[in-house]
């Protein structure tokens, strides 16, 4: 590797915001932004909309909804065996690269693993593909079709297994803003009308993913790439890329100075002012590194845990998580014959002391978010807990 820059944790955070378009919203279209970010975590269908709202100038719900209905993007299990929103191209090219990880997860990483220990996974994949050939199916319907072939196995476990063995897209209108549908699956090939790519050179495919990761998340270590992608044994892949990468020295890391990897010429903006941003409950920028101190300090990290596994939305102040937010809907009025007005309020909860200027800026951004996230409400407001 050639070239070496020194950067602080704060500088790494600024670089991350710049590459994520969280320092200034990008004029790029929604689909282009999804492609740039590689994948948006999307087990909650609204999360991707809120993530793009924080990054894309003038973003409207219809920008993504139209792309979903037009099958230019889709939602399926990919990185870390978690539902992500990706472009059609990436659904068909990333899935085969990640398929071995997803398959291993079927055996060891799901609540259904014990039920499936005596099931031949190749047979299960074949049966699942056959069951889905005629029409999209819910998990319950898929399990019911598979059950007679494995009478001693819970049908729900069989359906869960197929989800990890085949690239199953959640069909619309699920994921379309303002509409709903119980999770219903079909194969990516059927949904996008094209075959899944054949990975001729897995190392080259992994190297391409590393490049895209660094463009959107770097500088980073091999451990960071692996934590984000769910892939393992990437050290050899990165070693083969040494001539095209540069070193960045993280001067004040939690364990002292360390070497990070980066793309030549990628943004390292330094200690520049950054705006307030509100991120959704699931946002990969908070999950994109093994060492997340560039955006989540150790002091606030415990506050992002939740009993039900769904974290709160987060507030970025001065480039790091400094609070959480929640949206609530309420109706004013309510007496007999009185018209009740739908109202949406974002409540901001600081995780450290906020200055008066920070409180004002956070409320302003939260009102914008309230109007976007609750577009069916008539009134929108934002408050800071404790005020």
Q: How many domains does the chain have?
A: 2
Q: Tokens 């415990």 — which residue?
A: 302
pLDDT at position 250 over 90: yes
| Domain shared by 227 and 372, yes or no | no
pLDDT at position 218 over 50: yes
Give the residue numbers spanning the domain of 222.
Answer: 1-266+273-292
| Domain shared by 286 and 308, yes or no | no
Q: What is the mean pLDDT of residues 271-277?
A: 96
296 vs 284: CA distance, rounded Å: 12
pLDDT tens-place string over residues 167-194:
999 999 999 999 999 999 999 999 999 9
| Domain shared by 52 and 133, yes or no | yes
Tokens of 333: 């009025």
Separation of CA 344 from chain center: 25
CB 183 within 8 Å of CB 174: yes
pLDDT at position 318 over 80: yes
| Domain shared by 279 and 310, yes or no | no
| Domain shared by 310 and 282, yes or no | no
| Domain shared by 141 and 259, yes or no | yes
Helices (H), 218-355: 222-229, 235-239
What's residue 1's pLDDT?
41
Tokens of 151: 């009478």
336 vs 334: CA distance, rounded Å: 7
The reported pTM is 0.94
What's residue 254's pLDDT?
75
Given CA atoms 373, 374, 380, 382 in this order, what sign does their dihedral have?
Answer: negative
| Domain shared by 301 and 346, yes or no | yes
């Amino acid at each position: 590797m050639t070239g070496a820059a020194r950067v602080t944790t704060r500088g790494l955070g600024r670089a991350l915001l710049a590459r994520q378009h969280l320092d200034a919203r990008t004029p790029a279209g929604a689909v282009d932004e999804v492609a740039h970010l590689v994948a948006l975590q999307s087990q909650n269908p609204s999360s991707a909309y809120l993530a793009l709202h924080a990054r894309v100038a003038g973003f409207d719900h219809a920008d993504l909804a139209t792309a979903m209905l037009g099958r230019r993007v889709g939602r399926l299990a990919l990185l870390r065996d978690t539902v992500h929103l990706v472009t059609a191209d990436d659904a068909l090219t990333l899935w085969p690269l990640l398929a071995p990880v997803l398959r291993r997860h079927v055996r060891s990483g799901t609540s259904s693993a014990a039920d499936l220990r005596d099931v031949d996974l190749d047979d299960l994949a074949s049966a699942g593909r056959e069951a889905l050939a005629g029409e999209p199916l819910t998990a319950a319907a898929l399990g019911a079709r598979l059950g007679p072939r494995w009478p001693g196995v819970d049908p729900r476990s069989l359906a869960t297994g197929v989800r990890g063995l085949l690239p199953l897209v959640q069909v619309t209108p699920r994921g379309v803003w303002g509409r709903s549908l119980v999770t219903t699956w079909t194969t990516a090939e059927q949904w996008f009308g094209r075959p899944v790519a054949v990975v001729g050179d897995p190392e080259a495919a992994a190297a391409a993913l590393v490049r895209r990761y660094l463009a959107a998340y770097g500088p980073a270590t091999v451990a960071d790439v692996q934590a984000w992608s769910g892939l393992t044994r990437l050290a050899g892949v990165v070693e083969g890329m040494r001539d095209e990468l540069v070193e960045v020295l993280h001067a004040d890391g939690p364990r002292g100075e360390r070497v990070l990897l980066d793309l030549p010429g990628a943004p390292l903006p330094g200690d520049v002012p950054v705006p307030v941003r509100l991120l959704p409950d699931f946002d990969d920028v908070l999950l994109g590194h093994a060492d997340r101190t560039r955006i989540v300090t150790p002091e606030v990290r415990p506050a992002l845990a939740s009993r039900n596994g769904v974290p709160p939305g987060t507030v970025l102040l001065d480039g790091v998580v400094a609070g959480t937010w929640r949206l609530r809907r309420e109706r004013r009025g309510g007496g007999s014959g009185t018209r009740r007005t739908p109202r949406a309020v974002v409540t901001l909860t600081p995780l450290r002391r906020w200055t008066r200027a920070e409180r004002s800026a956070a409320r302003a951004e939260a009102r914008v978010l309230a109007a976007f996230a609750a577009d069916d409400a008539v009134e929108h407001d934002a408050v800071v807990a404790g005020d």
